[in-house]
Structure 1
Amino acid sequence: MILLAAVLMTSTAAPSPTCQVWQREQAFAHSVRAHDAAAFRTFLADDAVFDANSAHPVRGAAAIAEAWAPIVAGKDLQLDWQPKHVVASADGRLVLSSGPYVLTTHGKDGQAHTTIGHFSTVWRRGRDWGVAGAV
């Protein structure tokens, strides 16, 4: 009987913040692979910042959605990424997700050009998880 209770308690426990963000990061990437701008927008916190390590960070969900529209459309380039590491703050309200990305563009010569890099996303728990910042 005690074993059954332990199994039931385990199966109803909420996933950890790292598991939740792992799943959200994969869904976020899928929104781009699926060219779904509406789904992409749902992952952005209103005060999100993208390209934080650049000279011109993009601030706010609306500006990010606009800047990323060609990427999400996927006509001139394709972007894909997967989390490799997901680490939560001690209180579980902030989570860093990072891993490799693959960017494929097509040059004027028609040849595919592939760039492999590393992304980082900071997720913040609010009503739901939202991207607070991405690099």
Structure 2
Amino acid sequence: MIRISLLFSACVFMFANVATGSEEQSLTELQQQVKDTEQAFADTMAQRDFEQFVSFLADETIFFVGDTPLRGKQAVTAAWKAFYDTSAAPFSWAPGQVEVLESGTLALSSGPVYDPQGKRVATFTSIWRLEAPGKWRIVFDKGNEVCNCPDAKPESSAGDS
């Protein structure tokens, strides 16, 4: 009886470890999918492919221009068309950090934005939603300028005068 219990416990332990490993691998695969999607999205700017850019947008997407939200695919495409009308890309971006919810349905990507000379001028944060197996669409996008702020003052301790 003890042997059966030990055998059963060993099997449960092995299957639990296998299941955990496959979940982690699945999350890693999803993160790579989102990273690849973000890179393909960024490539639309470099390749001047506006139609492909539009294909990444969810119908209800919201992009921010400063603090002003552009609501919906039509508003975003109307505002972003000008970025694709010139022969040279006015900026570029690349995925840096990518995180995916445990549910595998929403993801965040963020990274640097560069001017045409390669100087980092902003950072972006995008939220992606899985709309079909392997098909991620952007639902939120917001850029923030790079801050050239002075370093924060160190907090003084109680004994400082």
Cα drift, residue 114 of structure 1: 5.3
Show the counterpart of 1:109: none
| Aligned pairs, number | 116
5+ residue gaps, structure 2:
1-21, 143-161
Do structure 1's residue 98 and structure 2's residue 110 form an aligned pair? yes
SS of residue paired to 2:35: helix
Show the counterpart of 1:64: 76
Percent identity reads 29
**Equivalent residues in 2 for 1:1-135, closer than 5 Å:** 16-51=29-64, 54-75=66-87, 78-104=90-116, 116-127=121-132, 128-135=135-142
For 1:67, the aligned partner's letter is A
For 2:101, the aligned partner's letter is S
Greater helix fraction, Structure 1 or Structure 2: 2
Greater than 6 Å deviation, 4+ residue runs = none
TM-score after normalising by structure 1: 0.76
Larger Cα-atom Rg: 2
What is the CA deviation profile of residues 41-91 of structure 1, one whole-angstrom value per residue up to 9, with x for unaligned ones?
Answer: 000000000017x43210111110110011122457611001110001111
5+ residue gaps, structure 1:
1-9, 105-111
**Whole-angstrom CA distance in 2 between matches of 1:76 and 1:56:** 26
- Kindly report the root-mean-square deviation, in angstroms, between the aligned alpha carbons of the 2 structures: 2.4
TM-score after normalising by structure 2: 0.64
Q: Is the 8 A contact 1:33 1:72 kept in 2?
A: no
The 1:62/1:21 distance shift into structure 2, 3 A limit, reads same
SS of residue paired to 1:92: coil
Q: Is the 8 A contact 1:94 1:123 kept in 2?
A: yes
